[in-house]
């Protein structure tokens, strides 16, 4: 048995239970279990797959499953970060990111926005002229493809549960950089064979399908969307009850550092 001292100075006993732990390399940042306690409710909610009301569900009855809504002649905007050249005025606070879609009557389609931790991050512009690009046919709104692994899984795939059901329709992305090899593999595992289209300018779409997001970081994970993401079947040699690796950036000296 060994002794360990917590930050508060209290001593606790650690039972080895006959396991041999390999020592960590010198200088490796560690995270105390107590540092994870504030996130316990979110983790519990994530794995229990409870239904949490999204920001727009407060305006209408809670639905038992995800749905998609179709808008005729909707206008879709390319993703733009604040501070770029020739940026039009934004809805909400100055400095918000631009993207998403509005109806032909220029009413906000909230389901096309990017939410995180209960906060809205992306808004359509307040003022814009007539759209010169007209897109015929039906499209699925794909949202915002991120190059970051975690955000790609949780946010970029949030609408793709519907694309799996409609492989005949192309996916229209507000943000869509060139896909990385691992992203192609993920889409293949999820069974996404749809054509990808990136909107480069405000475009009027003849028929736009906007699915409800299956996941909002730190807010919602729909059980049907979880089943969609969990359809991967591991290899035979994978041990479901084997050792696990926890990756966290909380102990890194600088914010937004990347773990390789």
- Whether 255 shows a pLDDT value over 90: the answer reads no
In the chain the first and final C-alpha atoms are separated, in Å, by 33
CB 30 within 8 A of CB 7: no
Q: Evaluate whether residue 13 is within a structural domain.
A: no
pLDDT tens per residue, range 128-176: 888 889 999 999 999 999 988 889 999 999 999 999 999 999 999 999 9
Instruction: Report if residue 253 sits inside a domain.
Output: no
The answer to whether the beta carbons of residues 177 and 145 sit under 8 Å apart is yes
Per the domain annotation, does 259 fall within a domain? no
Is residue 62 assigned to a domain?
Answer: yes
In a domain, 130, yes or no: yes
Sign of CA dihedral 260, 191, 110, 202: positive
Please give the Cα distance from 55 to 57 (Å, whole number).
6
Q: Hey, which residues does 135 pair with through a beta bridge?
A: 205
User: Is residue 73 domain-resident?
Assistant: yes
Is the pTM of the predicted complex or chain greater than 0.75? no
Number of domains composing the chain: 1
Q: Which domain holds residue 126?
A: 57-229
Residue 41: both structure tokens together: 């409710």
Classify residue 41 by its DSSP letter: H
Does 160 reside within a domain? yes
- Report yes or no: 142 and 111 within 8 Å, Cβ to Cβ: no
Look at residue 139 and tell me if it is in a domain. yes
């Amino acid at each position: 048995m060994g002794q360990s001292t917590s930050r508060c100075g209290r001593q606790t006993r650690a039972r080895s239970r006959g396991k041999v732990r390999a020592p960590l390399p010198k200088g490796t940042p560690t995270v105390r279990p107590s540092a994870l306690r504030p996130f316990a409710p979110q983790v519990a909610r994530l794995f229990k797959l409870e239904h949490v009301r999204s920001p727009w569900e407060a305006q209408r009855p809670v639905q038992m499953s995800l749905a998609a809504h179709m808008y005729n002649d909707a206008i879709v905007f390319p993703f733009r970060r604040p501070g770029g050249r020739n940026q039009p005025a934004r809805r909400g606070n100055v400095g918000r990111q631009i993207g998403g879609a509005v109806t032909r009557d220029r009413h906000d389609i909230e389901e096309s926005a990017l939410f995180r931790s209960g906060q809205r991050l992306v808004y359509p512009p307040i003022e814009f002229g007539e759209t010169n690009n007209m897109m015929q046919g039906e499209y699925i709104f794909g949202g915002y493809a991120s190059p970051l692994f975690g955000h790609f899984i949780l946010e970029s795939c949030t609408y793709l549960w519907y694309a799996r059901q409609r492989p005949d329709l192309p996916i229209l992305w507000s943000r869509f950089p060139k896909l990385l090899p691992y992203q192609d593999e993920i889409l293949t595992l999820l069974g996404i064979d749809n054509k990808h289209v990136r909107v480069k300018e405000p475009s009027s779409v003849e028929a736009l399908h906007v699915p409800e997001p299956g996941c909002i970081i730190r807010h919602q994970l729909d059980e049907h969307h979880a089943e969609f993401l969990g359809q991967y079947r591991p290899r035979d040699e994978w041990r479901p009850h084997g050792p696990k690796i926890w990756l966290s950036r909380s102990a890194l000296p600088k914010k937004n550092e990347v773990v390789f």
